[in-house]
Amino acid sequence: MRLIDIFTTASGNMFRSKLRTTLTIVAIFIGSFTLTLTSGLGTGISSYIDKQVGNLGGKDVLIVQPIGQGPGSDSGPKAYDPAKKTSATAFGTTTTALTDSDITKIKSVSGIRSVEPNFVVVTDYIVGPNGKKYQVSANPYVSGTKVELATGDQVSNDVSERQALLPVDYVPALGFANNEAVVGKSVTLGVTDGNGKQHQITAALKGVQQKGLTNSGGMNTNEALTQEIYRTQSLGLPKAVTNNYQALLAKFDANASPGQITHLKDELKKKGYAAKTIEDQIGTFKAVISGIIAVLNAFAVIALLAASFGIINTLLMSVQERTKEIGLMKAMGMGGGRIFLLFSTEAVLLGFWGSLIGVGVAEVVGRVANHIVTTTFLKDLPGLQLLTFPPISILAIMGLVMGIALLAGTLPATRAARQSPIDSLRYE
């Protein structure tokens, strides 16, 4: 029998018992629908995170800290060493501090282009046209970062003007009429120095920043403003403390390969520094999300496995019902291999239709859900596509479902292929 005939015969046989076939397809549909949604969710969220990480810029920046500190450190508590310097940080904790000599040491590592201190700055309040004071945190701007803006421009680290971006929810609170009204205006920031005395610093607003995962709270401050806040908050503190840094930002070649970055990290580790890229820091967060998505996907696959038993059942019944027909075809010279192919094709076709409908409906539901979600409770996260369906993963899902169906079809198909023509013909 030619392949095209096997295909059309299998296709025709599939609908000889319409209700049974339909129910099986529904089972497969549910599985592939769920899998498409969960994997669409996974793709949507992780591509959003990737975009946010991209917004961070700073792809060429390593955050350098003494080994044993910072997020994700795996070395446990460190024994206290009186010889090591500590610094009072904005968070009020004491950590081993980095000094100007560390800057020189890190600069000497080949591949490192420049090293700057990562200032931790603390602001007390922000006040705008209506004179109301609000708490605010400051977020030193890293050059090259593309902060998502509602309006205006990015701040610049290369100017002496003290610049900031205003988070979007401060716009009405501070008394601005709308986003556009913010650009070019200025706000006043309150900062407390080492003696407990409060100072006021004026900052020019360059734009309004959107909410995102990576710039959720703080306002972005340019280098001139950051320096000024840092200088102010350090007033009255001993020199030994002010020249100590919790972390340093080391820049390297933006085109460096992952291998080269790893090499840089190793070099710094040899010198006693732990270095992480911004992506590394986000990585943990991403891993948690991926974990959740993986669990959801696993549930969908379980649904598919349940559906595969439906396929086995349907096809076993078909084989049973068509015993005589199989016997006749074998008597007329159809080989076991072709019979196997006939039933396998039928299984794959069940998988094909089930997954096609599942994927199609999931895509429609996904679009609707995206629309609802991004216009209601997640509307503060612009650019978020909660469910994303790249064609590649759609094809992969259909392939997977058809593969499962093919496997499920092996048992009935083998049974059909092994039937002796005589027994089948005598079958009552």
Partner 1 sequence: MPAESPVISGRDIIKTYGKGDGQFTALRGVSLDVKAGESIAIIGKSGSGKSTLMHLLALLDKPSTGTVSIDGQDAGRLPGRTLNTLRNKKFGFVFQQFFLNGGASVLENVILPLKIAGVHGRERRRRGLEALRQVELEDKAKNKAKDLSGGQKQRAVIARALINEPQIIFADEPTGNLDSATGAHIENLLFNLNKRHGITLIIVTHDEDLARRCDRQLHIKDGVIDVAPRPRRGVRL
Assess 324 for contact with partner 1 (CB under 8 A). Answer: yes
β-strand pairing of 186-192 with 125-127: antiparallel
Q: Distance (Å, rounded) from C-alpha 406 to C-alpha 269?
A: 51
- Least Å from the CB of residue 20 to partner 1: 14
Size of the residue set binding partner 1 (CB under 8 A)? 22
Binding piece for partner 1, criterion CB under 8 A, among 65-73, 88-96, 223-231, 331-339: 331-339
Tell me, rounded to whole angstroms, the distance of Cα 104 from its chain centroid. Answer: 36
Assess 77 for contact with partner 1 (CB under 8 A). Answer: no
Residue number with CB closer to partner 1 (16 or 367): 16
Residue number with CB closer to partner 1 (2 or 270): 2
Among residues 298, 302, 331, 372, the one that binds partner 1 under rule CB under 8 A: 331
Residue number with CB closer to partner 1 (286 or 338): 338
Which tokens hold the place of 140? 């030193």
Q: What is the CA radius of gyration of the chain?
A: 32
The DSSP bridge partners found for residue 133 are: 127
Residue number with CB closer to partner 1 (320 or 420): 420
Assess 7 for contact with partner 1 (CB under 8 A). Answer: no
Question: Which residues, including other chains, have CB under 8 Å from residue 367's CB and lie 6 or more apart?
Answer: 387
- Give Cα separations from 114 to 19, 105, 111, 254, 384 (angstroms): 71, 11, 9, 12, 34
Sites for partner 1 among residues 95-124 (CB under 8 A): none
User: CB atoms < 10 A from the CB of 297, how many?
Assistant: 17
How far apart, in Å, do the first and last CA atoms of the chain sit? 27
Assess 329 for contact with partner 1 (CB under 8 A). Answer: yes
Residue number with CB closer to partner 1 (3 or 372): 3
Q: Distance (Å, rounded) from C-alpha 211 to C-alpha 258?
A: 30
Name the nearest CA neighbour of 102 among 91, 116, 88: 116
Assess 420 for contact with partner 1 (CB under 8 A). Answer: yes
Q: Distance (Å, rounded) from C-alpha 10 to C-alpha 219?
A: 64
- Least Å from the CB of residue 339 to partner 1: 10
- Least Å from the CB of residue 389 to partner 1: 38
Assess 18 for contact with partner 1 (CB under 8 A). Answer: no
Binding piece for partner 1, criterion CB under 8 A, among 9-17, 139-147, 155-163, 284-292: 9-17
Binding piece for partner 1, criterion CB under 8 A, among 40-48, 211-219, 273-281, 327-335: 327-335
Binding piece for partner 1, criterion CB under 8 A, among 1-9, 51-59, 62-70, 129-137: 1-9
- Least Å from the CB of residue 332 to partner 1: 5
Tell me, rounded to whole angstroms, the distance of Cα 367 from its chain centroid. Answer: 19
Among residues 305, 372, 395, 422, the one that binds partner 1 under rule CB under 8 A: 422
> What's the one-letter identity of residue 143?
S
Q: Distance (Å, rounded) from C-alpha 362 to C-alpha 352?
A: 15
β-strand pairing of 138-140 with 186-192: unpaired
Backbone dihedral angles phi then psi of residue 334, each to the nearest 5 degrees: -80, 130
Assess 360 for contact with partner 1 (CB under 8 A). Answer: no
Binding piece for partner 1, criterion CB under 8 A, among 27-35, 56-64, 156-164, 335-343: 335-343
- In 116-198, which ranges are continuous DSSP H helix? 170-173
- Least Å from the CB of residue 418 to partner 1: 12
Q: Which residues bind partner 1 (CB under 8 A)?
A: 1-2, 5, 9, 12, 16, 324-325, 327-329, 331-336, 338, 420-422, 425
